Amino acid sequence: MRSFVLGLKRSWPAVTTVVLLVIIWEAWVRIFDLPTFLVPPPSSVFAEIWSRPGFFWEHLVFTATETGLGFLLAILIGFPLGVLVVESKLFVRTVYPLIVASQAVPKLAVAPLFLVWFGLGIESKVLIAALIAFFPILIGVVVGLQSVDRGSLLMSQSIGLGRVGTFTKIRMPFALPSAFGGLKVGMTLAVVGAVVGEFLGSTKGLGSLLVIAAGTLNTPLVFATLVVLSVLGVVAYWLIELIEKWALPWHEEKETGERQQLEVAA
Amino acid sequence: MPGDPLVAGRLGQARSAAAIRVAGVSRTFVTKTGSVRALDEIDFDLGEHQFVSLLGPSGCGKSTLLRIIAGLDQPSTGSVYVQDHEVTGAQTQLGVVFQDPLLLEWRSALRNVLLQAEARKMDRVEAERRATSLLRQVGLEGSEEKHPHQLSGGMQQRVAICRALLHDPEIILMDEPFGALDALTRDQMGVDLLRLWERGKKTVFFVTHSIAEAVFLSDRVLVMSPAPGRITLDLDIDLPRPRRLRIRDSREFSMYLREIRSVLEASGVLREDPDDEEEAVP
C-alpha cells in the first residue's frame, strides 16, 4: 500500500505531461482543422477503441501471445548461452564469436526468411521475436556473472563451497540485477519482433492491423492500434519490473534507502 | 605478571606441536613491468592453542602469506604444513576471516553464517542452533534476520567471524579483520574476539598492521619487513590473560610496543610509510 502511494506520488508528473500533450494535440487538430486521414484528434482515436474493444482485445491477445512465447524462448536460449560464455573457454573461442558477429547482421532483414521457412502462422513471429530478444539477455547474464567480486569467490573457496555451490549460491544471485537489465531490453525487443513479423505476413495481431489500417488510410485505426500496442509494451516491461522486485527484494530495499537519502540530501 | 608459570608452561607445551609450519616460503608475482618478490624465505612454526599475530606495513606480503597458508595461493618456493599435512589446495577445515566481511547481501545474518554449513553439508538443525548461539556470543542477538545493508561495518564483520567459526575449526586465520573499522569499534572487536577465544583456545593466526592490536591480542608477535617480506622479529608476549583494555596502560605493554617499534624503525617502516602514522603513538 505504501509503495503504491509512493508510486502514485512519483508518477503524477508523467501522467500530467501525457494529459497535457493529449489536450494540446486535440486543440491543435481542431484549431487548424487538419484532415482526419492525416492526423486524427485523440477523441476519435479513443472513440475508435471504445466502439469495438473486443476487436482490439482479440488482436492484442494474439500479439501478446507471440511476444510472450518469443520472450520465453529468448530466455531459454540466452540464459544458458550466457552461462556457457562465462564458464566454458572452449565455447568462448568457438561459438561466441559467431553469435557476436551474427549481431552485425540486421536481424529484421532476416525476418522474411523466417516466414518462408516457418509459414504465416504464429511460429514465425515467435521465432523472430526470440531471435532479436535473446542477445541482450545473454549479455545481461554474461556481464552479471563477470561482475562477481573476487573476494567473495575467495571466501567461497575457503569454505569449500565447490563449483556448483559457488555458482548457485554466489555467482547467480550476484548476476541477477544485471540479468534483469537484459530481460527488460529483451522484452521490449520481443514486442518489436512480433509486430515486424506480423507486418510481413499475418492475418491477425496488432502488426497486421497496422498494415491494413495504413493501407486503407484509416488513420484513426492506425493511431488506436498504436495506443493498444504501447499499452502492451508498457505492461510487458512493468511485469518484468514486478518480477525483479519480487526476486531481488534486497536490491530494491538498498536502492530505496539510497534514493531516500538522496532525496533528503536534495 | 610476565613469567607466570602457568602461562609459560602452557606455551612451552604448545610449542612442541606445530599447528602450522611455514618452511622456506617465497612468493614472486610476475607483472607486466617485471617480477615483484612479495615474500622472501619465510620460516616459522605456530604452536597449537596460540594466538599469534603477524605484524607489518601495508603491502609487505602478510596477506599473501595468509592466503598461502589457507591454500588459496601457491608459494613460488617452499611449503606450508597445516597439522602436519602439506598444503596443496584450499584448506577448508580452517576458519578464514577476510578484511572485508564478504557477506552475501541477499541473505540474512543467520543465513550468511549458515553458508558455512551448506558448504560442508552439516546437519541443518544443529548448524542453525550453533549459528544462533555464535551470533548471540558476539552480541548480535535479535539481528539474526537483518540483512547486511542494515548492519554496521563492525556488526557485518562479527557475522563474518561467526561464519568462519561455525564448523568449530581448530585453526583460525584472520586477515586484518578489523582494518576497515574505526578505532573505537576496533578496540571493542579486539576485546570481544579475545573473550570468544578464551572459551575454546583455538590456534589463531592474526594479520594486522597495528602494533597495539598485535600486542594486546597475542601470545606471540611476528614482525615482517617491507617487501620482500621477511620475519625480522619473533617476540613472545608474556602478559597475563584474560586481558583487559587497561593492560595497554601498563609498563610491560609499552615495553613491548617500544621493542617492536624499534625493529620497524630499523627496517625504515615508521618513517617511510605514512599509512602507519597512527601507530607511532602507542
Residues B237 and B265 in one domain: yes
Tell if the CB–CB gap between B119 and A173 is shorter than 8 Å: no
Residues B78 and B178 in one domain: yes
**B2 inside domain:** no
Residues B138 and B207 in one domain: no
**B282 inside domain:** no
Candidate from A60-69, A101-110, B7-16, B127-136 with smallest mean pLDDT? B7-16
Please check the confidence at residue B16 and state whether its pLDDT lies above 70.
Answer: no
Query: Exposed, middle or buried by CB within 10 Å (0-12, 13-18, 19+), for A185?
Result: middle
Give the containing element (helix H, strand E) for B234: strand B231-236
**Taking CB atoms and an 8 Å cutoff, what residues of chain A touch B104?**
152, 169-170, 173
Name the pLDDT band for A262 (thresholds 50, 70, 90).
low
Chain A: closest CA distance from residue B123 (Å): 16
Q: How many distinct structural domains can be found in chain B?
A: 2
Residues B237 and B118 in one domain: no
Tell if the CB–CB gap between B104 and A161 is shorter than 8 Å: no
**B279 inside domain:** no
Residues B76 and B156 in one domain: no
| Nearest Cα residue in chain B from A157 | B90
Tell if the CB–CB gap between A161 and B98 is shorter than 8 Å: no
Q: What is the interface pTM, i.e. ipTM, of the complex?
A: 0.83
pLDDT digits (tens, 9 = 90+) for B145-176: 999 999 999 999 999 999 999 999 999 999 99
Please check the confidence at residue B12 and state whether its pLDDT lies above 90.
Answer: no
Percent of chain A having pLDDT more than 70? 93
CB B108 within 8 A of CB B146: yes
CATH code of the domain covering residue B205: 3.40.50.300
**B3 inside domain:** no
Domain boundary among B139, B168, B197: B168
CB A245 within 8 A of CB A177: no
Average pLDDT, chain A: 89
How many whole angstroms separate alpha carbon B189 and alpha carbon B11?
24
**Which one of A147, A150, A155, A261 makes the best mutation probe of the B interface by having the most chain B beta carbons within 10 Å?**
A155
Residues B45 and B90 in one domain: yes
Strands B95-97 and B171-175: parallel
pLDDT at position B35 is: 87
pLDDT (average), residues B91-99:
94
**B46 inside domain:** yes
Indicate the pTM of the whole model.
0.80
Q: Give the A:B interface size as CB pairs under 8 Å.
A: 56
Interior angle at CA B202, CA B98 and CA B145, nearest 5: 50
How many whole angstroms separate alpha carbon A181 and alpha carbon B156?
29
**Taking CB atoms and an 8 Å cutoff, what residues of chain A touch B100?**
151
The CATH class for the domain spanning A53-102+121-246 reads mainly alpha
How many whole angstroms separate alpha carbon A162 and alpha carbon A170?
11
Please check the confidence at residue B33 and state whether its pLDDT lies above 90.
Answer: no
pLDDT at position A259 is: 56
CB A148 within 8 A of CB B106: no
pLDDT (average), residues B183-199:
90
Please check the confidence at residue B10 and state whether its pLDDT lies above 70.
Answer: no
Residues B114 and B199 in one domain: no
**B280 inside domain:** no
Candidate from A74-78, A247-251, B113-117 with smallest mean pLDDT? A247-251
Query: Can you give the residue ranges of every domain in chain A?
Result: 53-102+121-246
Tell if the CB–CB gap between A250 and B163 is shorter than 8 Å: no
Candidate from A200-204, A206-210, B105-109, B135-139 with smallest mean pLDDT? A200-204
* Residue B94 at interface with chain A, using a CB cutoff of 8 Å: yes
Domain boundary among B117, B140, B168: B168
**Taking CB atoms and an 8 Å cutoff, what residues of chain B touch A162?**
119
CB B143 within 8 A of CB B109: yes
Residues B115 and B252 in one domain: no
Please check the confidence at residue A78 and state whether its pLDDT lies above 60.
Answer: yes
Q: CA of A229: how far to CAs of A2, A54, A61, A193, in Å?
A: 30, 15, 11, 13
Chain A: closest CA distance from residue B265 (Å): 32
Tell if the CB–CB gap between B104 and A152 is shorter than 8 Å: yes
pLDDT at position B5 is: 44
Residues B183 and B59 in one domain: yes
Name the pLDDT band for A10 (thresholds 50, 70, 90).
confident
Full strand arrangement of the beta sheet holding B77-82: B34-47, B18-31, B77-82, B85-86
Please check the confidence at residue A203 and state whether its pLDDT lies above 90.
Answer: no
**Which one of B99, B102, B174 makes the best mutation probe of the A interface by having the most chain A beta carbons within 10 Å?**
B102
Cis geometry, peptide bond prior to residue B228 (ω within 30 degrees of 0): yes
CA nearest to A144, candidates A44, A47, A248, A8? A248
**B225 inside domain:** yes
Long-range contacts of A73-77 (CB under 8 A, 24+ apart): A73/A126, A73/A127, A73/A129, A73/A130, A73/A134, A74/A129, A74/A130, A74/A133, A74/A134, A74/A137, A74/A186, A74/A190, A75/A134, A75/A137, A75/A183, A75/A186, A77/A130, A77/A134, A77/A138
Tell if the CB–CB gap between B98 and A257 is shorter than 8 Å: no
DSSP output for A163-174? HHHHIIIIIHHH
Tell if the CB–CB gap between A253 and B67 is shorter than 8 Å: no
* Residue B120 at interface with chain A, using a CB cutoff of 8 Å: yes
Residues B52 and B182 in one domain: yes
Name the pLDDT band for B275 (thresholds 50, 70, 90).
low
Residues B110 and B208 in one domain: no
| Nearest Cα residue in chain A from B165 | A159
* Residue B113 at interface with chain A, using a CB cutoff of 8 Å: no
pLDDT at position B149 is: 92
- Give me the domain span that covers residue B214: 11-94+170-271
**B281 inside domain:** no
Residues B82 and B178 in one domain: yes
Chain B: closest CA distance from residue A161 (Å): 4
